[in-house]
Amino acid sequence: DIVMTQGALPNPVPSGESVSITCRSSKSLLYSDGKTYLNWYLQRPGQSPQLLIYWMSTRASGVSDRFSGSGSGTDFTLKISGVEAEDVGVYYCQQGLEFPLTFGSGTKLEIK
C-alpha cells in the first residue's frame, strides 16, 4: 500500500498569514499520462471531508483561489494564502493512483 505522510502546522496560525501543508507519498504518484494523482480535502469540525484540489494542482469547483497545490511525484504542498476563520479544520492528502486508496493522517489548522 502507498503510505501518505503529512506534516504539522505551528498552531495557532494568525489570521491572514499564509501556510503550507506538506504531504509525502511512499511511491511516485506521477502516472504515465502525465498527471499526478494526489488530492487534498478539508474536513471542518463535525463535517464530512470536502474536495479542495485534485490531480495535485487543479482546484475543485467552487474552491477559493486562496488554495493552491503543487509538488513533484512524491512531495506535495497545499498552500493557503491568507488563512481565514472558515479554513479551520483538518486537511488530508489522498493518493488516487492505485488501490487501496490511502490518506495521510491529517494536518490540523487552528487560527488565532
Q: Using alpha carbons only, how large is the chain's radius of gyration in Å?
A: 13
Smallest distance from the beta carbon of 54 to another protein, in angstroms?
A: 4
In the block, residue with C-alpha cell 491529517: 106
Smallest distance from the beta carbon of 15 to another protein, in angstroms?
A: 25
**The three grid cell numbers given for residue 102, joined into one nine-digit string:** 490511502
SS3 60: coil
Residue closer to another protein (CB basis): 15 or 26: 26
Residue closer to another protein (CB basis): 8 or 82: 8
Amino acid at 43: Q
Peptide bond between residue 45 and the one before it cis (omega within 30 degrees of 0): no
Asked if 103 contacts 92 with a C-beta cutoff of 8 angstroms, the reply is yes
Smallest distance from the beta carbon of 96 to another protein, in angstroms?
A: 5
Residue closer to another protein (CB basis): 14 or 46: 46
Q: Which residues bind another protein (CB under 8 A)?
A: 31, 33, 35, 37, 39, 41, 47-51, 54-55, 60, 92, 94, 96-97, 99-106
